[in-house]
């Protein structure tokens, strides 16, 4: 449905040229909820604006529904108002001089040939119904609350029934509680309307909970593109691992190559001890690597398990009670380690503990 | 549903027209840049060339007759250095007096518990509606050494022969010009005082500074950059004014730059020396430019100190105690002297039979005969038509041009947008009298070359005023456009609206209050401005109200000046009130809604 091929964007600013997007290629099949995730300034919003036609790429090709809307090779570029796209802005971009009804009706009124007034009324009513804003038609748009404005923006993006919807951090101006409620609601709505969605966010929770597929971006490039589960469990780089969730890093040295096809796990030496890993990476023995383990994947085990495979021994240096969990830090030789335990565990500073990690939860990253 | 074939056909046609549109859209900013550049560069160029011309009159100009003699004459024989010295005293004195008065008023309404603040908020800006020429004339009527009403009463009462205060002096000049600066300075200072976060003062206090030290070390240091910027802005304004020194200094040969330049070309008994006027104007322009550049650099870095967060503060008010009544009396006295008194004096002069101080006997002679005399003059009718036409054209031209410039600067990535911004600001530092002189040369040569007759037409005034007021209007437009979030337009584009529909349905309605405000403000300013139309005036073809008042005053037709002044001020007050009602009330609502 959406294809981006080798997209480059350069800006000229006061401080010199900025290469905001550096060769991005994306392929989003129809009906997918695709998310661009990254820190601010990574080029994710620029990419989205290129898709919308609000930004002119320096080079590359963009296809929507198999039609080239931008091709730097032959200089064609369809202006934004002729791309059939719905978009929700971070600021909502609700027109303050129009009523709720006129805000939603705007895209229909701009359609050529003209849409009949009766049909406009029906479709606006339907769109407002969809976002649970019926009865607000005649209200001036600025008199809506933040959450209502966000839903109004969504209704406006959906009213034309475009096959593609672009969402630029639409939840970032909502308060935390409302944001959590709206996440699934928004995803379900997009799925119900059978739209292809490209969603830009810097919030990892939004990316993980809403997307079918996530692309993690940094410095104008896509670092990793995978399903939320894969991104979380098998980050391909230190950047992705640390950007999403909490994680422990330690230097490692490959002792035995893994060969998952034949069921053979690999082994790696770390300051935590020797760990077996079931990561799919193909690294030769002796390679210097970074080993990453998430805090919630460490389990306390009995003293009897000491010395068995993937058990790390350490001494508790800090315990923080968070209500739904217990965050501990432990000293392991010269290295440190953070873990997240169930609050029922009784650990105290100074305790000697043993932690076990599953080989499937040991991520090995090339240094 | 349309068939596939026609859809494709439409699409190709649409794409072709869009590429044509794109090419036009890409050329358009360059066109605007060229227009703005021409409006600044050509007049300045002709001014400078004229300064080297040794021909006696501009229309005898020849490239063969050039030299430095004008500069020599102006500097050595006419002692322009004395004029520089005079100007420095006048500008410095007026600015300090004006800023101090305005700061006191602003501090009283923003930071103290003085009663009757609303009167000050509403009253002080009304001073803007008093044209500089009428302001100066009123002070002559009051404080002229022999016939001034105040001095006459003083002499009658005390029996002395020395007047109380002579307005035709440097102190008189400083006093009158300083008062004229107060309304604008007040409007600029109020937000500065208001945006001061009291928490900063409180932080200083809790860190052990006593209140006086807290005020000095924190409040004053934070206010300093803003205060300095406003002071320099006002100094530029004082430097460029012609009306006040023209009425108060010119008759007694007390010259500052603006009157000196005018005096060289318009001096009874001597032949106008245009080349010399240009040479003097070049000095004048350089000084104005240097101060403006300094001002620009200052404001550019001022955001470093900007305490302005738009957060709602609960200002900590100073309790004046017994001084409350004194402060209130001072504020009311100020309003009376600067707003009510000019109006009453002009009203008296316009109604009284022959000129004399207000008294019961004088009231007996009140009649409307001066109004009748004026309105029955064919000259007055022509002048009125000229003024209205000039004002309408100027306000419209400035609004459109400044809208385009601001749009390009704020909303596009046009390569030369900073240059455009700078070029649109530069004319701000060209004094009206200098621009008038420059256009005098430029249009004469233009007419010689093309055979047109722009010189002496009201279009010459429209052009001049458009150049002068562009800087202000571009600032106002830019600020308003920055308040309209670009997403609002992008959302409309993505809703399928082509650029011109976005402009009509989104951009224009949101900016309308500003457009109307700018239009009225420019209309107000161009009616009251005397220097530029005075130097370009060529009889009835382009005489406007300000020029007519100037000449009538010169001829001693004081009662007629009063009648014209009252009519002019009535129009200005009503326009000012209309502007406040529609112009800036709604804009805030739109700004905060986004």
pLDDT tens across B120-149, in order? 888 888 888 788 999 999 999 999 888 888
A54 reaches B (C-beta below 8 A): yes
- For the stretch B358-364, contacts whose Cβ atoms lie closer than 8 Å and that sit 24 or more positions apart, written own/partner, are B358/B149
Q: Contact, B102 vs B181, CB < 8 A?
A: yes
Band (pLDDT 50/70/90 cuts) for residue B198 is low
What is the pLDDT, as a whole number, of residue B7? 43
- List the single best residue of A64, A79, A104, A158 to mutate versus B (max B Cβ within 10 A): A79
**pLDDT, tens digit, 9 for 90 and up, residues B565-581:** 998 888 888 877 777 77
Band (pLDDT 50/70/90 cuts) for residue B19 is low
Is the Cβ pair A142, B509 closer than 8 Å? Answer: no
- Please tell me which residue of chain B has the smallest CA distance to A52: B494
B→A contacts (Cβ < 8 Å), by residue, are 14-15, 18, 413, 415, 485, 487-488, 490-499, 501-502, 505-506, 509-510, 589-590, 593-594
Q: Given CA atoms A264, A265, A268, A274 in this order, what sign does their dihedral have? A: negative
3-class DSSP string for B19-88: HHHHHHHHHHHHHHHHHHHHHHHHHHHHHHHHHHECCCCHHHCCCCCECCHHHHHHHHHCCHHHHHHHHH
Closest CA to B370 of B384, B351, B357: B351
Q: What percent of chain B has pLDDT above 70?
A: 87
- Please tell me which residue of chain B has the smallest CA distance to A143: B593
Which range of A254-258, B166-170, B210-214 scores highest in mean pLDDT? It is: B166-170
A80 reaches B (C-beta below 8 A): yes
Write out chain A residues lying below 8 Å of B8, CB-based: none
Is the Cβ pair A87, B18 closer than 8 Å? Answer: no
CA B10 to chain centre: 52
Nearest-Cα distance to chain A for B511, in Å, is: 11
The mean pLDDT of chain B is: 83
Write out chain A residues lying below 8 Å of B415, CB-based: 12
**pLDDT, tens digit, 9 for 90 and up, residues B296-317:** 887 765 444 444 333 444 556 7
**Beta-strand pair A59-64/A213-218:** unpaired
Tokens of B352: 């009284």
Q: Picking from A161-170, A266-275, B336-345, B476-485, which range would have the lowest pLDDT averaged per residue?
A: B476-485
**pLDDT, tens digit, 9 for 90 and up, residues A108-120:** 999 888 999 999 9
Among B15, B413, B593, select the one facing A96 at the smallest CB separation: B593
**Which residues are CB-neighbours of B339 under 8 A, at least 6 positions away?**
B123, B126, B127, B130
Is the Cβ pair B496, A81 closer than 8 Å? Answer: yes
**Beta-strand pair A164-168/A196-201:** parallel
Average pLDDT estimate for B379-388:
90
Among A89, A97, A111, select the one facing B496 at the smallest CB separation: A111
Band (pLDDT 50/70/90 cuts) for residue B205 is low
What is the pLDDT, as a whole number, of residue A229? 92
Is the Cβ pair A81, B497 closer than 8 Å? Answer: yes
What is the pLDDT, as a whole number, of residue B308? 38
A160 reaches B (C-beta below 8 A): yes
Nearest-Cα distance to chain A for B227, in Å, is: 29
Q: Does B193 have pLDDT greater than 70?
A: yes
What is the pLDDT, as a whole number, of residue B590? 34
- Please tell me which residue of chain B has the smallest CA distance to A144: B593
A106 reaches B (C-beta below 8 A): yes
- Please tell me which residue of chain B has the smallest CA distance to A69: B15
What is the pLDDT, as a whole number, of residue B346? 92
DSSP alpha helices (H): ranges in A244-344? none
A105 reaches B (C-beta below 8 A): no
Is the Cβ pair A81, B495 closer than 8 Å? Answer: yes
Is the Cβ pair A110, B497 closer than 8 Å? Answer: yes
Q: Does B545 have pLDDT greater than 50?
A: yes
Which residue has better confidence, B102 or B414? B102
Q: Does B237 have pLDDT greater than 70?
A: yes
Write out chain B residues lying below 8 Å of A12, CB-based: 413, 415
Write out chain A residues lying below 8 Å of B409, CB-based: none
Exposed, middle or buried: residue A344 (CB in 10 Å: 0-12, 13-18, 19+)? Answer: exposed
pLDDT averages per 10-residue partition of chain A, 367 residues: 94 81 94 95 93 92 93 89 91 90 94 90 93 88 87 92 93 86 90 94 93 95 94 90 91 86 84 86 85 92 77 92 91 90 89 90 86
Which residue has better confidence, B441 or B585? B441
Q: What percent of chain B has pLDDT above 90?
A: 31
Distance CA B147, CA B164 (A): 12
Is the Cβ pair A95, B506 closer than 8 Å? Answer: yes
Among B494, B510, B593, select the one facing A85 at the smallest CB separation: B494
Write out chain A residues lying below 8 Å of B488, CB-based: 93, 95
Is the Cβ pair A93, B18 closer than 8 Å? Answer: no
Q: What percent of chain A has pLDDT above 70?
A: 99
A142 reaches B (C-beta below 8 A): yes
Write out chain A residues lying below 8 Å of B491, CB-based: 87, 89, 93, 95, 153, 156
Q: Does B9 have pLDDT greater than 50?
A: no
pTM (2 d.p.): 0.78
What is the pLDDT, as a whole number, of residue A328? 93
Distance CA B363, CA B351 (A): 8
């Amino acid at each position: 449905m959406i294809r981006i091929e080798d997209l480059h964007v350069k800006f000229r600013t006061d401080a010199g040229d900025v290469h905001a997007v550096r060769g991005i290629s994306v392929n989003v099949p129809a009906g997918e909820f695709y998310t661009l995730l990254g820190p601010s300034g990574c080029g994710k919003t620029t990419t989205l604006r290129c898709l919308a036609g609000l930004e002119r790429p320096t080079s590359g090709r963009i296809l929507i529904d198999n039609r080239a809307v931008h091709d730097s090779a032959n200089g064609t570029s369809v202006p934004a108002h002729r791309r059939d796209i719905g978009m929700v802005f971070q600021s909502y971009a609700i027109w303050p001089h129009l009523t709720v009804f006129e805000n939603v009706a705007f895209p229909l009124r701009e359609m050529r040939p003209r849409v009949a007034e009766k049909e406009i009324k029906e479709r606006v009513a339907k769109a407002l119904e969809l976002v649970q804003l019926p009865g607000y038609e005649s209200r001036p748009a600025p008199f809506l609350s933040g959450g209502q404005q966000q839903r109004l923006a969504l209704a406006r993006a959906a009213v034309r029934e475009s096959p593609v919807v672009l969402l630029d951090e639409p939840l970032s101006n909502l308060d935390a509680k409302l944001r959590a409620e709206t996440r699934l609601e928004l995803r379900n709505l997009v799925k119900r309307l059978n739209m292809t969605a490209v969603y830009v966010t810097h919030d990892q929770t939004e990316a993980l909970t809403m997307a079918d597929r996530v692309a993690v971006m940094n410095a104008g490039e896509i670092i990793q593109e995978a399903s939320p589960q894969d991104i979380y469990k098998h980050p391909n780089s230190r950047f992705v691992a640390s950007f999403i969730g909490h994680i422990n890093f330690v230097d490692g040295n490959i002792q035995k190559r893994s060969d998952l096809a034949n069921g053979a796990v690999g082994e790696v030496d770390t300051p935590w001890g020797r760990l077996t890993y079931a990561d799919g990476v193909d690294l030769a023995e002796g390679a210097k690597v970074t080993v990453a383990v998430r805090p919630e994947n460490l389990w306390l085990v009995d003293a009897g398990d000491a010395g068995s495979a993937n058990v790390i021994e350490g001494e508790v240096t800090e315990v923080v009670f968070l209500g739904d969990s217990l965050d501990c830090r432990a000293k392991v030789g010269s290295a440190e380690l953070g873990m997240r335990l169930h609050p029922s565990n009784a650990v105290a500073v100074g305790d000697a503990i043993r932690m076990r990690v599953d080989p499937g939860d040991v991520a090995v990253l090339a240094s | 549903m349309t068939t596939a074939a026609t859809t494709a056909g439409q699409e190709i046609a649409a794409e072709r027209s869009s590429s044509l549109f794109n090419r036009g859209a890409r050329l358009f900013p360059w066109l605007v840049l060229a227009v703005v550049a021409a409006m600044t560069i050509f007049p300045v160029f002709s001014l400078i060339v004229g300064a080297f011309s040794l021909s006696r009159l501009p229309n005898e100009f020849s490239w063969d007759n050039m030299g430095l003699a004008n500069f020599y004459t102006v500097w050595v024989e006419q002692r322009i250095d004395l004029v520089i010295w005079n100007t420095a005293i006048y500008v410095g004195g007026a600015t300090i007096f004006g800023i101090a008065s305005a700061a006191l008023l602003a501090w009283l309404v923003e930071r103290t518990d003085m009663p009757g603040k609303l009167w000050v908020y509403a009253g002080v800006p009304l001073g803007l509606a008093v044209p500089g020429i009428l302001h100066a004339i009123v002070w002559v009527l009051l404080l002229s050494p022999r016939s001034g009403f105040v001095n006459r009463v003083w002499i009658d009462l005390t029996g002395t022969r020395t007047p109380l205060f002579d307005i035709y002096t440097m102190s008189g000049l400083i006093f009158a010009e300083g008062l004229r600066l107060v309304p604008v300075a007040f409007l600029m200072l109020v937000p500065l005082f208001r945006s001061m976060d009291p928490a900063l003062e409180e932080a200083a206090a809790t860190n052990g500074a006593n209140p006086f030290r807290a005020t000095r070390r924190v409040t004053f240091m934070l206010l300093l950059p803003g205060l300095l910027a406003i002071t320099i802005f006002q100094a530029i304004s004082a430097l460029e004014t012609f009306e006040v020194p023209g009425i108060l200094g010119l008759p007694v040969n007390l010259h500052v730059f603006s009157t000196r330049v005018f005096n060289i070309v318009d001096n009874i008994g001597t032949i106008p020396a245009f080349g010399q006027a240009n040479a003097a104007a070049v000095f004048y322009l350089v000084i104005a430019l240097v101060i403006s550049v300094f001002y620009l650099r200052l404001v550019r870095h001022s955001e470093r100190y900007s305490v302005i967060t738009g957060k709602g503060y609960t200002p900590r008010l100073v309790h004046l105690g017994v001084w409350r009544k004194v402060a209130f009396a001072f504020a009311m006295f100020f309003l009376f002297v600067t707003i009510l008194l000019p109006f009453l004096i002009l009203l008296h002069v316009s109604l009284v039979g022959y000129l004399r101080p207000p008294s019961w006997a004088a009231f007996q002679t009140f009649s409307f005969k001066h109004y009748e005399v004026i309105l029955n003059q064919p000259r007055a009718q022509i002048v009125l038509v000229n003024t209205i036409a000039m004002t309408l054209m100027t306000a419209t031209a400035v609004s459109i041009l400044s809208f385009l410039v601001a749009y390009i600067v704020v909303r596009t990535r046009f390569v030369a947008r900073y240059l455009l911004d700078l070029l649109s600001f530069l004319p701000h530092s060209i004094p009206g009298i200098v621009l008038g002189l420059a256009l005098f040369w430029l249009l004469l040569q233009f007419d010689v070359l093309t055979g047109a007759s722009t010189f002496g037409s009201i279009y010459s005034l429209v052009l001049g005023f458009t150049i002068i007021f562009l800087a202000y209007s571009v600032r106002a437009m830019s600020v308003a456009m920055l308040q309209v979030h670009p997403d609002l337009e992008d959302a409309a584009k993505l809703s399928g609206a082509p650029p011109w529909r976005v402009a009509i349905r989104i951009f224009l309605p949101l900016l309308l209050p500003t457009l109307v405000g700018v239009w009225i403000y420019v209309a107000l300013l161009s009616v009251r401005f005397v220097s530029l139309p005075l130097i370009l005036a060529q009889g009835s073809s382009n005489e406007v109200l300000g020029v007519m008042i100037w000449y009538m005053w010169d001829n001693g037709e004081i009662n007629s000046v009063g009648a014209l002044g009252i009519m002019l001020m009535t129009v200005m007050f009503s326009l000012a009130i209309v502007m406040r009602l529609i112009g800036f009330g709604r804009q805030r609502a739109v700004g905060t809604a986004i």
